[in-house]
Amino acid sequence: MLKIRMFTAISLLAILLPATLFLPLSGFSVLIACVLVFAAWEWGKLLQLSGVWPFYYSILSGVILVSYMLAGAPLGNALLRVAAAFWIVIAPFILLRKPILASGVWRIFMLVSGVVLFIACWHALIAARVCGVIFVLSLLCIVCLADSGAYFVGKLFSQHKLAPAISPSKTWEGAVGGWLLTIMGALLAFSANPSLLTVTGFLIKRLGALGAVLILSLLIVFSIVGDLFESLLKRQAGVKDASQLLPGHGGMLDRIDSLLPVLPLAMLLLS
């Protein structure tokens, strides 16, 4: 399983890294929109839409996203604030109370919220890309390091469960390991070349090293919230992965669950 996971990760990196580095903004925007349309299909499946309805939901999400793109991405900051409010207020409430999300009013709310969250994620990522390729890569690396550190440290040290009722495999040791790896990696990268426009460099110049560590820590916390939130959706749907699109990694949503809260929160904090 680890070999398959690594092969898929390397294949994705071989596609996404050149696309981020060399595609013009328009092409990058379309690529990210395509990824989010697949994620919307998985979101509909996790909310237990039957038959072809997850497909219809993904198409509707794509149409709304394209319309938003063609309209010039209006009310971007307002959209980011709505997404941030969801992750700061609604998501922790759901994780604590664990309502059944695939039925009644909750399902309607989650379907509407999903469209908003995906568009906010797209907007935040494109805004980061506008700041520069190095900037957007540094932002993505924050989530990647936190996720990788949590995975490998959690495999080695798995004594204290983080949220056993939601995701038995996640541990406090993994969370701390992911935090340490991210902070160390961010500070080392900044030390290697302070002149580059990175998230860490921007924060250190504005808030100092301690302020940068605090903001990065906050983003890491919400990357875990996003991960746990998707785990709750999968647990309630009775599935291990959002889909089987990515061998060893599950689906698109399994890869971007941490990005959904981090991207809008990061761009709001950095603005």
Q: Which of 244, 174, 183 is nearest to 213 (CA)?
A: 183
Instruction: Say what the pTM is.
Output: 0.93
- pLDDT by position in tens, the chain (length 271): 556 767 777 877 788 888 888 889 999 999 999 999 999 999 999 999 999 999 999 999 999 999 999 998 887 789 999 999 999 999 999 999 999 999 999 999 999 999 999 999 999 999 999 999 999 999 999 999 998 888 888 777 777 888 888 988 888 988 999 999 999 999 999 999 898 999 999 999 999 999 999 999 999 999 999 999 999 999 999 998 888 887 777 889 999 999 999 999 999 998 7
CA distance 261 to 88: 9
Residue 118's pLDDT is what? 97
Range of the domain at 28: 2-270
Question: Structural domain tally of the chain?
Answer: 1
Residue 48's pLDDT is what? 95
Q: Dihedrals φ, ψ of 236, to 5°?
A: -70, -30
Q: Which two tokens stand for residue 136?
A: 């957007």
Residue 2's pLDDT is what? 59
Residue given tokens 């904090």 in the structure block: 269
CA angle 64, 32, 120 (to 5 degrees): 55
CA distance 142 to 259: 10
Residue 160's pLDDT is what? 82
Task: Give residue-wise pLDDT tens across range 43-52.
Answer: 999 999 999 9
